[in-house]
Structure formats: structure tokens, C-alpha cells
Amino acid sequence: MKPKWRIGLIGPGRLGRAMVGELCRRGLPPQALAGRTQEKVVALAQRYGLRFCPMTEIHQTADLILLTVADDALASLATALSRSDGWQGKILLHTSGALDSNVLQPLRDVGARVGSLHPLQSFAGEERIPPGTVFGVEGDQAAKEAAEAIGQFLGGETFALPPGYKALYHAGACIAANFLVTITVLAGELFAAAGLAKEKVPAALLPLVENVVKNMGKLGPAQALTGPVSRGDAQTILRHIKALNDTRPDLLPLYLELSRRTLELAQANGLPAERVKAVEEILVRSNLEME
């Protein structure tokens, strides 16, 4: 069902462009766009045939406004917007993963209903919201209901976050998404140190990473686990530790901590106790040797 609100959007960055593109494709084009960088706002508005206006006037056209701006800009934006009249009954939803609706308190104080709608997704340029995206929502009751309706209209699923848990939720998202990139880069550095030409590293690693993600989707994260820790292959783990200690000792603490956490998963998956113990002893001894 198409939501009833007239939508406005402030912030034509990656997520803002994706939101605008998806809303237009689904037949609910924003009534007005605004942002700090006029050139970006005009370019996005012209691409989709939309109206643009100053940020402080957007609520004259829209009754639900999406704030797709950087986290550190939200507080000052809320303060600046609240200086205008006419916010009573308006709904504002920011899209920050780490901040809750309290960052919009100045707008709440002048009668607006505020909340947040965070897509649990990575946006790297394509102007669409992938179907099935999960949205974390919270805020004032009216704003939360609006966020749920928008998330579902965009083809996603929503879940309500309890007060005070937004940063914890976002830390989980960063571990899953951002740190995956970091770990893949570090793995590529080991490949290069082992003799693989740098330009060939992505082609070697990415199919492996993609297949693991695919298996997690089919089997669930725990059941998709493979590798020497999952098998309790103590001798292979010892070889890894020696190689890292000789070549990249800076990565050894990370390897040991991730191995320890992986061993917990392997144990839950039914790895025999004697194999768990053998790997555990190696990890503990290696940690002690680093101290």
C-alpha cells in the first residue's frame, strides 16, 4: 500500500540518491529535495524531474521529511530547521545507524514527530534500495509507524529497536560489513606477501568471499563455517601462526582472537572436545608467548 505522506528529502548523498531513485521507481516521488551542496541537489532533482528548495522551506511542501545526511551534521541541522515555524505535526526520520531520534530533539520541541529509519545495507553508488533490505526503526510512536510504512513500501522488512540500543545495533552492522572489507584487504596483503601479484589479488579472493556469503544465506552463518578451526586442524593452525609470526607479526593478535571466536562456533557445531582442547591450547600458548 502506498503511504499517504508527501515526502521531502534533505541530503543528496549515496543513501539520499538511493532513496530518491527507489521512491520514484515505486510511484511515490519526493515533493521536494534540499541539501547543503546546491549543485548535488539540483543534479538529483533534474535527473528525476523533481522540485528543489531551501532546507528551511521543505516542510512547506512535505509532511514527512527524510534526513539522509552525515551523522555529525544531524544535531546542527535539527537546530537550524527548528528555527522556522510550521513544524507542528510534521514527521522527520533520519537514517543514521548509530544515533537515535533524540538527536532531533530541537524539532520535537517545536511540535514535530521524530524517529529514525536505518537501512541495514551498504550503498556504493547504485540509486536503488535492494529488495528485502532490513530497516531498523525507532522514535516517537507516529514517526515509528511512518518509518515502518516507508520501509515496507520500499520492499524491505522493519524491526523496532528499543530505546538506548541504536549504537549497539550499529556496531554489529559495522562488524559485519565494514570489517569484512578490512579483513579482506588484510588477507590480500598476505596473498601479496606470499608472491601473488597485487593486481591479481581481488580476482583470487573475491570469489571466495562471495561464495562464503552465499553459503551463509543458504545454510546460516554457523553452518557455513569451514576451515582449519572448524575441523580442529591443530597442525595447520600452528603453521599459520608460525608464518604470521615470521612475516606479519602485527596480524598475529587479530588471527588469534578471530580463531578463538571461531573455535566457539565450531564447538557449538559439534567439534569433538579433544579437537577443541588441542586448538585451544595452541591459541592460549601463542597468546602467552606474545606477552
pLDDT by position in tens, the chain (length 291): 788 899 999 999 999 999 999 999 999 999 999 999 999 999 999 999 999 999 999 999 999 999 999 999 999 999 999 999 999 999 999 999 999 999 999 999 999 999 999 999 988 767 789 999 999 999 999 999 999 999 999 999 999 999 899 999 999 999 999 999 999 999 999 999 999 999 999 999 999 999 999 999 999 999 999 999 999 999 999 999 999 999 999 999 999 999 999 999 999 999 999 999 999 999 999 999 887
Residue 21, Cα to own-chain centre: how many angstroms? 19
Q: Looking at this protein, which amino acid is placed at residue 92?
A: L
Distances (CA, A) of 38 to 34, 52, 154, 179, 284: 8, 9, 26, 33, 57
Q: What is the pLDDT of residue 125?
A: 67
Which burial class, exposed, middle or buried, applies to 212 when counting CB atoms under 10 A from its CB (0-12, 13-18, 19+)? middle
82: cell is: 527548528
7-161 domain in CATH 1.10.3720.10? no
H or E segment and range at residue 158: strand 157-160
Structure confidence at residue 228 (pLDDT): 96
Domain ranges of the chain: 7-161, 164-221, 225-291
pLDDT digits (tens, 9 = 90+) for 80-130: 999 999 999 999 999 999 999 999 999 999 999 999 999 999 887 677 899
Q: Can you read off the three cell numbers belonging to residue 59?
A: 516542510
Rounded to the nearest 10°, the torsion over CA 266, 267, 268, 270 is 90
146 three-class SS: helix
Q: Which residues contact 156 (CB under 8 A, 6 or more apart)?
A: 119, 129, 131, 132, 133, 134, 135
